[in-house]
Amino acid sequence: GVEIPIHIWYDGYPTHTGENYVGRVDRVNPNSSYGQASLNVTSIRESDRGWYNCRVFFLNRSPAPQSSKNISGSWYHLDVHAPPRFTHTSDDVVYTKIGKNIILHCRAEGTPAPEIVWYKDSDPVQPSVTVSIVNEGTELRISQIKNEDIGDYTCIARNGEGKIHHVVKVLIAGSAVIITPPQNMTKVEGEKVLFPCEWRALPSNASVVWLRDQIPVRQISSLETRIETPADGNLIINPVKSDDSGFYECRVSNGIGGTQTAVAYLNVEYPAEVTYTPTVQYLPHRLAGVVRCYIMANPPIQFVMWTRDKHLLEPYEEEGFAVMNNGSLLIDRVKETHQGQYTCTPYNVHGTKGSSLQMQVIVKEPPKFDVTPEPMYQSKLGASLEIPCSAIAPNGTNSPLITWHRRDGKTLPRDRVRVVEGSLMIENVHESDFGEYECVASNEVATLVFTTKIYVEGAPPQAPYNVTGSASVFHVTLYWMP
């Protein structure tokens, strides 16, 4: 490359000094014993180490014969002594496991070249079958880590100009442990919730994830703007809402061992509220009827205040009226005078969120069966069986819908059972068809149920059905249907 002079002196002209040498180089005093062209360098730096070339040109003389000395000048080498400095070291903390291998690094430079030595705690490292110092001391290798290998390792780099050291802590890595798990708690809507999840881990770069009912809380849109998950692992919900109730799970992992989990239940209490108000409700004339109030409350309701036609209704003072456990109004025999505009207002220990809208309660004639099944039917295995059932409704109401169900809740087999114009049609009767069946007729006014039984001839013996009994001092009498 191009050689750039670091210092040029010519009598009668300004001196030129190289960029990195400004203020640090100058020609020595001509009267000194070092000679008129000698160079004085001050504030020596380690980067000043290297070869220096001095060339003298006499511009007022004829060129000298070309010789190697005239061309190359005089060469001098400057060796700068400097204390050690590290160029590469291992991290301050190294995590490992029993039985694993590790390499600790320690590289340094300086003039003279520094010597590197290793200490464990306060003693020099002693090479062994599993411990070795290689690459001129720049690497300490430990294989098949044992408990006694755990500790502080110090790398010392030293020369005649100074000494430096670097300490590496070798620690056994451990999986995360939850120290303070969340606990079940009850809060009132609007309060602040803080679920703790304090943990310890080596290394400590653990991740903490919170879930509600197995769904990460960050993926629940209703929580998005109300939660905080600070670095300490806690979960904060502020303010808490009624639908925040659920199981909250803290999961902690640092990639070593299994994920640690802790679960707690959050119970959010809130004032009783009406969740839905039907505009119209129908009551069946001369039958029992229910005016429904759709309520949510935690804790459960204490009472419900009812009004009819804007007057307070006292169910316990009205003949045939009662308030059900769910807050709805039960009338044991509906009369036309029970029509009107109703409202309900539920209360619990925290009060109420308000009343329902007005509900128009209309009394109408209920549907009625015009064809009912027989109380009992007998059929042979493999035969077909038809059980009639139909219902009618008075003018002004919808025709009733006919459905069939088994009283034991079992599903009717679709491949053999059909409902045709209200009648139950069973093909290829099986022994499993034995049991009680319900014909259900329903419309907007009422739901009616008629029950019948099916017995299957030739079927294997069945367990006793509809067992009842009576007892005296000396004997017990049992009754059942075969």
Question: For the segment 412-446, what is each residue's pLDDT rounded down to a tens digit?
Answer: 999 999 999 999 999 999 999 999 999 999 999 99
For 38, counting Cβ atoms within 10 Å of its Cβ (0-12 exposed, 13-18 middle, 19+ buried), the class is: middle
* Residue where a domain terminates, one of 121, 142, 172: 172
Residues 208/284, Cβ–Cβ less than 8 Å: no
Question: Given a cut of 70, is residue 167 above it in pLDDT?
Answer: yes
Residue 304: CATH number of its domain:
2.60.40.10
pLDDT category of residue 63 using cuts at 50, 70 and 90: low
Question: Given a cut of 90, is residue 281 above it in pLDDT?
Answer: yes
Q: For the residues of 288-337, what is the DSSP string, one character each?
A: -EEE--EEEEES--SEEEEEETTEEE-GGGSTTEEE-TTSPEEESS--GG
Neighbour tally for 84: CB within 10 Å: 23
pLDDT at res. 89: 95
Q: Report, as an integer, the average pLDDT of 144-167.
A: 93
Q: Is residue 129 located within the same domain as residue 66?
A: no
Which residues touch 69 (CB under 8 Å, ≥6 apart)?
none
Q: Is residue 331 located within the same domain as residue 380?
A: no
Nearest-angstrom CA–CA distance, 118 and 96:
19
Tens digit of each residue's pLDDT (9 = 90 or more) over 248-271: 999 999 888 889 999 999 999 999
Residues 443/398, Cβ–Cβ less than 8 Å: yes
Q: Is residue 183 located within the same domain as residue 143?
A: no
In the chain, pLDDT over 70 holds for what percent of residues?
A: 95
pLDDT at res. 462: 65
* Residue where a domain terminates, one of 364, 398, 420: 364
Q: Is residue 124 located within the same domain as residue 182?
A: no
Residue 285 in any domain: the answer is yes
pLDDT at res. 66: 58
**Count of domains for the chain:** 5
Higher pLDDT, 10 or 233: 233
Neighbour tally for 273: CB within 10 Å: 17
Neighbour tally for 21: CB within 10 Å: 18
Q: Is residue 263 located within the same domain as residue 321?
A: no
pLDDT at res. 126: 93
Question: Given a cut of 90, is residue 242 above it in pLDDT?
Answer: yes
Alpha helix (H) residue ranges in 8-120: 68-72
Residue 472 in any domain: the answer is no
pLDDT category of residue 466 using cuts at 50, 70 and 90: low
Peptide bond into 239 cis (omega under 30): yes
pLDDT at res. 6: 84
Residues 39/28, Cβ–Cβ less than 8 Å: yes
Residue 373 in any domain: the answer is yes
Longest alpha-carbon distance in the chain: 153
**CA 328, 332, 335, 337: dihedral to nearest 10 degrees?**
-50
pLDDT category of residue 64 using cuts at 50, 70 and 90: low
Q: Is residue 114 located within the same domain as residue 167?
A: yes
Residues 11/1, Cβ–Cβ less than 8 Å: no
Q: Is residue 264 located within the same domain as residue 183?
A: yes
Residue 478 in any domain: the answer is no
DSSP structural state of residue 172: E
What is the extent of the structural domain holding 123? 84-172
pLDDT category of residue 316 using cuts at 50, 70 and 90: confident
Block residue for tokens 């306060």: 122
Q: Is residue 301 located within the same domain as residue 331?
A: yes
Lowest mean pLDDT among 40-44, 214-218, 435-439: 40-44
Q: Report, as an integer, the average pLDDT of 322-335.
A: 95
Q: Is residue 126 located within the same domain as residue 147?
A: yes
Tens digit of each residue's pLDDT (9 = 90 or more) over 98-145: 899 999 999 999 988 999 999 999 899 999 999 999 999 999 999 999
Joined tokens for residue 400: 């009733």
CA atoms within 13 A of residue 319's CA, in its CB half-sphere: 3
pLDDT at res. 201: 85
Residue 479 in any domain: the answer is no
Mean pLDDT of the chain: 90
Question: Given a cut of 80, is residue 341 above it in pLDDT?
Answer: yes
pLDDT at res. 476: 85
Residue 289 in any domain: the answer is yes
Joined tokens for residue 480: 């059942």
* Residue where a domain terminates, one of 245, 270, 295: 270
The pTM assigned to this predicted structure is 0.62
pLDDT at res. 65: 64
Question: Given a cut of 70, is residue 1 above it in pLDDT?
Answer: no
Residue 465 in any domain: the answer is no
pLDDT at res. 72: 63
| N- to C-terminal Cα separation, the chain | 114
pLDDT at res. 127: 94
Q: Is residue 392 located within the same domain as residue 342?
A: no
Residue 42 in any domain: the answer is yes
Block residue for tokens 């419900």: 304
Helices then strands (H, E): number in the chain? 1, 45
